[in-house]
Amino acid sequence: MTVMMSKSSHDAHEKIWKMIRGLIEFTYDEVAMLTETPYSTVSRYLLSLYSAGYIRPAGKRKEADGRKKVVWRLAKNTGPKAPVPCKCLYDPNIDGLASGSVIPRLDRGIQKVQKPDRPIKSDDDKKKKEPRHVD
């Protein structure tokens, strides 16, 4: 299975995955700081890992500023290659979709096209038959 993504996203995901595999516990802020990756990128990627069951909350930690942060822990370590989010989560280590991933249904919104009994009139045909108003 081949999944296409930008090189910068791929590199960021690889750095994040490598970092969390080496840490026992982590917060989103710690991962963003240690990988020098924007917080928004880290949070999107970690959310996709959480949705697929790869990370789980391990509790809360009080920070120096008094705020409590959720501490996360790796739940599934499938190997060195970073799982790839793609409306689901593709894991190159198992060459498949991670369990718990949502696979979009391709048949939604697709309607069976039936051949019309009579020809469909174009907009030009409709304009020809409309009466013109003269002032």
Cβ neighbour number for residue 23 with a 10 Å cutoff: 14
User: Which is nearest to 45 in space by CA: 3, 78, 17?
Assistant: 17
pLDDT given at position 90: 77
Q: What's the predicted TM-score (pTM) here?
A: 0.62
**Which fold would CATH assign to domain 7-97?**
Arc Repressor Mutant, subunit A (1.10.10)
pLDDT given at position 17: 96
Residues belonging to the chain: 135
Q: How far is CA 1 from CA 26, 34, 90, in A?
A: 31, 31, 9
Q: At 35, is the secondary structure helix, strand, or coil?
A: helix
Query: Mean pLDDT by 10-residue block, N- to C-terminus, for the chain (135 residues)?
Result: 58 94 94 95 93 92 90 94 81 76 40 40 52 59
pLDDT given at position 96: 78
Beta strands per DSSP E along 13-132: 55-62, 68-74, 84-85, 89-91, 96-97
Q: The dihedral of CA 126, 127, 129, 130: what is its sign? A: positive
pLDDT given at position 106: 36
Please state the domain extents for the chain: 7-97
pLDDT given at position 132: 59
